[in-house]
Structure 1
Amino acid sequence: MPGVTVESAGTNPVYQVSRKSFIFFRNPRPDAFDPETGERYDDVIVFWVADDVDKQALVADESTPFFTTPHFDGHPSVLLRGSRIGELTADELAEVVYDAWLARAGVRARQKWLAERGLG
């Protein structure tokens, strides 16, 4: 994706465009845990979304591995465990990455990228 940089938050990569994060990897946190064991998930990936409508569409569809936690209420993002990424097709994963980038890229970069694909 154009203009993407990879920064580091400790040992975790943070993907940014225009100095804005659009995908990042979380450390284990108390809000994302296995309900049976209580063990904190150590493989949570955060993807930005355009708005709450997109977020709710992803997390409400039980056929997807996306989820959220109360910590992310009101935040335009969805969570995905890395261990479940294989449940997505390559096209589905690409779409979530593209949408995350589009949610954070500047207007000109978005317009150019979409136009190059006949989508703008």
Structure 2
Amino acid sequence: MADDRPASVQDVHRCAEAMPHVAVDRSDLDHPVYRVGGRPFVLFRTRRPDAVDVTTGERYDDVIVLWVASEEEKQVLLSQPGTPLFTTPHFDGHRSVLLRGRDVGRFSRQEVFELVADAWLSQASARRARAWLDQQGSADAGCA
């Protein structure tokens, strides 16, 4: 059964940690990087000049980077009406979308799981991805 409760930033962490073969770089405790096979798939960014509040000019301190499989997938995600996902010129040509932590609750927990799982799949080896997808057919998908 899908979990349609609003998601939280903790759900992003929980889902990323629940994926197989994950290593977490916590050298900056507030901005961990989740990796599979050494490749990042979810990254909590530090303040950067490319992501700022248009009203105040303040740099966002809660941006989450989620990898995607392709530029086409990125454009599909960004074109969804009302999506909190965004990008900046810094990420032109980069296979990722951005999400502010404050906006995670605009997604359900199931939607966050799907975003994180897709990010993991986009960076995992073909063998690991295939094994995980095969397992999902016989298990209840989720990261609760």
Short-chain TM bin: over 0.9
Instruction: State the match for 1:73 in structure 2.
Output: 92
Give unpaired runs (5+ residues) of structure 2.
Answer: 1-18, 139-144
The RMSD of aligned alpha carbons is 1.2
Q: 2:59 aligns with which of 40, 47, 52?
A: 40
Instruction: State the match for 1:99 in structure 2.
Output: 118
Match for 1:79: what amino acid? Answer: L
Match for 2:38: what amino acid? Answer: R
Instruction: State the match for 1:53 in structure 2.
Output: 72
User: Identity over aligned residues, as a percent?
Assistant: 52
Distance in 2, matches of 1:63 and 1:9, equals 34
Runs of 4 or more above 6 Å deviation: none
Alpha-carbon distance, 1:106 to partner: 0.8
Larger relative contact order (CA 8 Å, sep ≥ 6): 2
* SS across alignment from 1:95: helix
Higher strand share: 1
How many pairs align? 119
Distance in 1, matches of 2:23 and 2:112, equals 19
* SS across alignment from 2:26: strand
Distance in 1, matches of 2:63 and 2:74, equals 16
Give unpaired runs (5+ residues) of structure 1.
Answer: none
Match for 1:62: what amino acid? Answer: P
Match for 1:23: what amino acid? Answer: V
Instruction: State the match for 2:46 in structure 1.
Output: 27
Match for 1:2: what amino acid? Answer: P
**Structure 2 residue 107 is the aligned partner of structure 1 residue 88:** yes
Instruction: State the match for 2:8 in structure 1.
Output: none
Distance in 2, matches of 1:21 and 1:29, equals 18
Segment of structure 1 superposing worse, 54-63 or 72-81: 54-63
Alpha-carbon distance, 1:9 to partner: 4.5
**TM-score in terms of structure 2 length:** 0.79
